[in-house]
């Protein structure tokens, strides 16, 4: 195991570890553009030059491997001088359009210039003008070649991760630029990742472009609901722009690193699903199609459930959180002596990278908590003699209303389930609650509140608690973490887990505690 010294601090690393990664172990950030932990090493930006004692020339930290006894300097006068020179070289042909660049505020070129650059340039020549200026190269991607610093991250992504090879570098010297392959169009399932990878403003997202300056955004850790993978994401919210229905405006999703789940990526289907949070929501309660207050709807639902006695059931979509599933089970299968099951998740396409056929985020959680899968709701209620049903989430309930005396639906969006309801209650989406999902591999991961429920809607877990109280079975839960604590105490696979110890990367069922994670 090589042991080396970086900026006066000693660290021991595994053989083959590069200097840039060894420095990360000490929380030392070495500036870089072309380097990315998920891609091959290009070593072309030279921004990560460091001084190694005994070596006559500066070394690139992204490619140089740590050796025993090595002494490395990352922030001395020589390093700073070289970085300033590299930045000056990069900026020779770079347009000075930061005020109108959509990347401003999260641009590495802008940030590093402020940290390592100089006030002016010694080059007094006309800049080389690249051909592509705000050119669309895919359904959602814009390219501005003038701003490109040729880090080649996007090219390596399409070559090494998606294997679709849409992008390449053409021409030579300072005329080089990123271009599409002949006849290509950047429309693979993960095309949006090139925007995440771009360290400057060369590649931007048409969906987000010019909609909001990033310094107005608040980033909240969460989980994508597009499939059972459970990709780790951050939800970016502009709290200064309230939604017309009362909620806070969600502007975009960004992937969040988790090597055990999605690495650094996410698919475009999940990326653009953020629009479901604020658009076309169920924002009022109804009884037999007539709008009423939520309290009245809860009273009507509770009265109908009482009449049905133990012939009651709850059917949960696999979009419900673990906490909501546990409450449904505790109330209907436990306190009321009825039945609790989950609805079969919708199926879609699958690929070899991230996307799974199971299009729900919490099927595994439903399997562990409720156990019974229902593919035919009508046949299931007939077989179990159910007279009153509560459905949590969206499902095709065609014909179910005619088979039961009462149907309550807790819905977030208009759909087939909401259209069938005797009582409709406006529930919450994942971005509006604290909670957890369990992904396909059994990893329990946290959701955090990014936005409050839109005006008129109520957190789904609160609706279930209110319903329990009206049915004479109140639960002593104040918050979502109380519900999860009860879940972990009663179901062995969740034993030892809590909201507090899941961390940012989650923990496997049955582990009893989060798994050790690397420094990020």
Residue with tokens 């919210």: 237
Rounded CA-CA distance 357/351 in Å is: 8
Kindly report the average pLDDT of the chain as a whole number: 93
Q: Strand locations in 230-335, DSSP E?
A: 232-242, 248-255, 285-287, 290-292, 312-316
Question: Residue 422: pLDDT band by 50, 70, 90 thresholds?
Answer: very high
Q: What is the pLDDT of residue 93?
A: 82
φ, ψ at 240 (rounded to 5°) = -90, 0
- Quick: pLDDT tens for 442-481: 999 999 999 999 999 999 999 999 999 999 999 999 999 9
State whether residue 370 is helix, strand or coil: coil
Count Cβ atoms below 10 Å from residue 193 Cβ, excluding itself.
Answer: 25
pTM for this one?
A: 0.92
Report the pLDDT value the prediction gives residue 245, as an integer from 0 to 100.
47
What integer pLDDT is reported at residue 386 of this predicted model? 97
Tokens 């961390």 sit on residue:
503
| Domains of the chain and any CATH numbers | 3-75 (3.10.20.740), 93-205 (3.30.70.20), 285-508 (3.40.50.740)
- CA dihedral (74, 75, 81, 84) positive or negative: positive
- The torsion of the CA quartet 8, 11, 16, 20, rounded to 10 degrees, works out to -50
Q: Which residues, including other chains, have CB under 8 Å from residue 267's CB and lie 6 or more apart? A: 189, 190, 226, 231, 353, 354, 355
Burial of 180 (0-12, 13-18, 19+ CB in 10 A): middle
52 versus 125: which is more confidently predicted? 52
Token pair in block for residue 320:
């419900």
Could you give the CA distance from residue 443 to residue 270 in angstroms, rounded to a whole number? 19
The SS3 of residue 60 is strand
Nearest to 418 by CA among 389, 393, 454, 399: 393
Cβ 240 vs Cβ 215: under 8 Å = no
Question: What is the phi/psi pair of residue 272, to 5°?
Answer: -95, 5
pLDDT band at residue 125, thresholds of 50, 70 and 90?
low
**379-402 confidence digits (pLDDT tens):** 999 999 999 999 999 999 999 999
Q: What percent of the chain has pLDDT over 70?
A: 95
User: What is 429-492 written as a DSSP string?
Assistant: -GGGS-EEEE-TTSEEEEE--SSPPPTT---HHHHHHHHHHHTT------SHHHHHHHHHHH-G
Please state, in angstroms and rounded to a whole number, the distance separating the CA atoms of residues 107 and 126.
24
pLDDT, tens digit, 9 for 90 and up, residues 61-90:
999 999 999 999 999 999 999 999 999 888
Residue 517, pLDDT above cutoff 60: no
Give the integer Cα–Cα distance in Å for 285 and 287.
7
- The answer to whether 246 and 454 are in contact (CB under 8 A) is yes
Q: Tell me the mean pLDDT in the region 286-308.
A: 97
- State the pLDDT confidence band at 241, using cuts at 50, 70 and 90: low
Confidence of residue 507 (pLDDT cuts 50, 70, 90): very high
* 172 has a pLDDT exceeding 80: yes
For the residues 280-300, what does the mean pLDDT come to? Answer: 96
Do the Cβ atoms of 430 and 483 come closer than 8 Å? no
Answer whether 4's CB lies under 8 Å from 10's CB: yes
């Amino acid at each position: 195991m090589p042991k080396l010294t970086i900026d006066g601090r000693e660290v021991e690393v595994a053989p083959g570890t590069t200097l840039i990664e060894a420095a990360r172990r000490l929380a030392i950030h070495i500036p870089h553009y072309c380097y990315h932990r998920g891609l091959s090493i290009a070593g072309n930006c030279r921004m990560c030059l460091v001084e190694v004692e005994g070596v006559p020339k500066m070394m690139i930290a992204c490619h140089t491997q740590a050796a025993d006894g090595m002494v490395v300097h990352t922030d001395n006068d020589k390093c700073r001088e070289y970085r300033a020179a590299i930045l000056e070289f990069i900026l020779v042909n770079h347009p000075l359009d930061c005020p109108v660049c959509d990347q401003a505020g999260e641009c590495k070129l802008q940030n590093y210039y402020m940290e390592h650059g100089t006030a002016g340039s010694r080059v007094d020549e006309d800049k080389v003008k690249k051909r592509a200026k705000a050119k669309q190269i895919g359904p959602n991607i814009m390219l501005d070649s003038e701003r490109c610093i040729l880090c080649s991250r996007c090219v390596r992504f399409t070559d090494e991760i998606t294997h679709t090879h849409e992008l390449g570098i053409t021409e030579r010297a300072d005329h080089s630029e990123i271009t599409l392959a002949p006849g290509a169009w950047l429309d693979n399932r993960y095309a949006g990742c090139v925007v995440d990878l771009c360290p400057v403003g060369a590649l931007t997202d048409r969906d987000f472009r010019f909609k909001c300056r990033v310094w107005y955004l608040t980033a909240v850790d969460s989980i994508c609901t597009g499939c059972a993978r459970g990709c780790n994401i951050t939800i970016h919210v502009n709290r200064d722009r309230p939604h017309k229905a009362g909620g806070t405006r969600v502007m975009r999703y960004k992937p969040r690193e988790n090597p055990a789940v999605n690495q650094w990526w996410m698919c475009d289907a999940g990326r653009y699903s953020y629009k479901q949070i604020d658009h076309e929501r169920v924002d009022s309660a109804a009884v037999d199609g007539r709008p009423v207050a939520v309290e009245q709807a809860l009273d009507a639902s509770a009265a109908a459930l009482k009449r049905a006695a133990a012939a009651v059931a709850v059917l949960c979509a696999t979009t419900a959180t673990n906490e909501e599933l546990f409450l449904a089970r505790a109330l209907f299968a436990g306190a009321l002596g009825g039945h609790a099951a989950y609805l079969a998740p919708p199926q879609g396409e699958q690929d070899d990278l991230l996307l799974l056929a199971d299009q729900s985020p919490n099927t595994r959680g439903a399997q562990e908590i409720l156990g019974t899968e229902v593919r035919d709701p009508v046949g299931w209620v007939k077989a179990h003699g159910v007279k009153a049903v509560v459905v949590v989430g969206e499902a095709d309930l065609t014909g179910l209303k005619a088979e039961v005396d009462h149907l309550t639906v807790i819905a977030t969006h208009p759909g087939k389930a909401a259209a069938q309801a005797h009582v409709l209650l406006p529930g919450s989406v994942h971005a509006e609650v604290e909670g957890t999902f369990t992904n396909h591999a059994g990893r329990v991961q946290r959701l955090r509140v990014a936005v409050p429920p839109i005006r008129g809607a109520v957190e789904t877990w609160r609706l279930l608690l209110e319903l329990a109280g009206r049915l004479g079975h109140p639960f002593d839960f104040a918050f979502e973490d109380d519900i999860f604590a009860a879940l972990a105490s009663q179901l062995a696979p969740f034993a030892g887990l809590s909201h507090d110890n899941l961390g940012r990367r989650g923990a496997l069922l049955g582990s009893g505690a989060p798994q050790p994670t690397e420094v990020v």
